[in-house]
Amino acid sequence: MAQTVSNDALWEKLSEIDKKFEKFIVMQESQAVAQEQNRSTPGFEEAKDVIIAEIREQVALLSRHNNDHFGANRQNIEVLNKNILLAVKHSIETKDQLKTDMESLKEDKKIYFNFKLFKIRKISLMIAILGLLVFILTLFSMKQQNDYALLLEEYYRQSNTTEQQKEVMKTK
């Protein structure tokens, strides 16, 4: 136990000495820095003025450079705004077109006849009925033409037979 106490005491002494060394080192460093500043202060002021002048010159150059690019950036922003407006306009137009297409699809449902097996458009049905009427009219006119041709043929035959009979009668 006595040995551990003496070790603890040694460690405390060592830590106190370490703290004193650290304080001494810090004091020496601060004195060295102060001496260097005292030696380099006149040169430091001149260097400081030169650095400030260069920084101001660079800032002036950058401001001119930025002013040149500011106009180009402004034009680019205007072009982007126009493009955005065109895109918004196009999207609104497509939405309107989509709405009209949806309405026409709803109206298309009214256009169909829904039968059990199939559905047919009303217009297609009307076209089929009109086509059927034209077909019937064509058949009727063809029948009329055929009847007329038969009647003419019979009329010519009768007229030929009557002429033949007249000739026979004249010869008798």
Q: What is the mean pLDDT of residues 64-85?
A: 81
- The pLDDT > 70 percentage for the chain reads 84
More confident residue, 12 or 152: 152
Q: What whole-number distance in Å separates Cα of residue 24 and Cα of residue 125?
A: 112
Q: Where are the domains of the chain?
A: 46-171
Predicted pLDDT at 22: 86
Which single residue is written with the structure tokens 């008798």?
Answer: 172
Whether this prediction's pTM lies above 0.85 is answered by no
Quote the pLDDT of residue 35: 74
3-state secondary structure of 120: strand
CB 113 within 8 A of CB 125: yes
